[in-house]
Amino acid sequence: MTQKTIPKLLPQAAAPHSFEEIAQQTGLSRERVCRLEQKALETLRTSAQARAPQTLLETEA
């Protein structure tokens, strides 16, 4: 399964879904869905932290 197929499987991605619902719709285990969410959140955190110093420099200029 690729990242491109997930939005097609979950067209109402803006609405909250349980790990169980996502697992049933994607054919993944509930634990795998949970791990994927954790990895995605960590990626967002690290990318936001990487951009933060650049944003501060841009606002001071």
- For 5-60, the pLDDT digits (tens) are 555 555 555 677 889 998 999 999 999 999 999 998 899 888 877 776 666 566 65
Is 50 within a domain? yes
Is 8 within a domain? no
Is 11 within a domain? no
Q: Give pLDDT, residue 4.
A: 53
Q: Give pLDDT, residue 12.
A: 55
Is 10 within a domain? no
Tokens of 28: 């993944």
Is 21 within a domain? yes
- How many domains does the chain divide into? 1
Range of the domain at 52: 16-60
Per-position b or e across 29-41, b if 16+ CB within 10 A of its CB: eeeebeebeeeee
pTM given for the model: 0.57
Instruction: Let me know how long the chain is.
Output: 61
